[in-house]
Chains A and B, each alone.
Chain A
Amino acid sequence: MSEMLTFREDDETIKKIDELARQKMRSRSEIVRLAVRDYVNRKLELIEIQKLAAKRYTEGKLSLDELVDILGFNEAKKVAHYKDLAESSFAQGMS
């Protein structure tokens, strides 16, 4: 089963899509379909990895350095921030 999606994109990106379609000898729709599938799959995989790493870090089974190795500096910082925020919310309530 499939569903039709309609979306707008700027001229520059459309040009790139057409260039890639030409090079790969695929249709414009096929290129967009592959791009969306690839993006969604990679994002969902990343979320699973982030979730597992965040859980292990909160349990004290991963150090911040190890978290940085797995997720990269920026994502690891975000996880550490969220853990602190969540921890203070549980420990201190609204005070």
Chain B
Amino acid sequence: MKAVADASALLSLEYMGALEDTLGIADIYTTGSVEEELNEIAGFRDEKSGIAKKILTHISDGKIKRIEMKGEAYPVNVGMSQCLALCISAKIPVMLTDDTDASYHLGRIAAQKGIKMRMCASVLVELIRAGKMSPHAAKVKLDELIKKRSWESGIMEVLARRYLEDGEW
């Protein structure tokens, strides 16, 4: 399983404590601009800083594969735009993002190019399928993340309950 992840997806996964397990079941790629974004976040004095530093360790260890992409392909968030460009050029069919605005603006282009956009919840589903996590544990992790989200948490709450508690997945 291969996917390109932008900063928002990597931050969500590490925040939930699921990034290490994710790297055990999937090849995760990212771009130089995402690394730059994470370096910037790592320089802040807040909760995200420590999370970004841990992700950067995975990138420097080569567990998350960083591929340099030149230029800004689409007129939105540079990191996400380059992630989509990487998906297209390296024929990686899945792009992980938790960035609502950017995914909204790039969704149509991604669909035209045959790239599937997925949120980090999709990784939890794969971890459940691989037997690395129970649906209950996934729900607990997701609930923590939901508290950090804006209006999107309304949607996530309903779906997390439907798929992870009621077992529709």
Q: Which residues of A contact B (CB under 8 A)?
A: 47, 50-55, 57-59, 77-79, 81-83, 85-95
Contact = CB atoms under 8 A, between A and B. Distances in A.
A68 to B, nearest CB: 15
Contacts, number: 97
Q: Is the interface of A mostly helix, strand, loop or mixed?
A: helix
Given A87-B159, A94-B3, A82 B121 contact: no
Q: Is the interface of B mostly helix, strand, loop or mixed?
A: helix
B155 A94 contact: no
A77 to B, nearest CB: 8
Contact of B151 (A54, A90, A92): A54
Contact of A86 (B26, B96, B101, B119): B119
A94 B107 contact: no
Most-contacted residue by chain B among A79, A82, A90 (CB, 10 A): A90
B26 A54 contact: no
Most-contacted residue by chain A among B94, B103, B156 (CB, 10 A): B156
A81 to B, nearest CB: 5
Given A47-B151, A55-B158, A92 B104 contact: no
Contacts of B152: 54, 82, 86
B122 A93 contact: yes
Interface in B35-60: none
13 contacts: A79-B155, A81-B103, A82-B104, A82-B155, A85-B117, A87-B159, A88-B118, A89-B121, A89-B122, A90-B164, A91-B163, A93-B125, A94-B1
B158 A90 contact: no
A95 B120 CA distance: 13
Nearest to A46: B151
A86 B156 contact: yes
Contacts of A82: 100, 103-104, 152, 155
A71 to B, nearest CB: 9
A51 B150 contact: yes
A77 B104 CA distance: 9
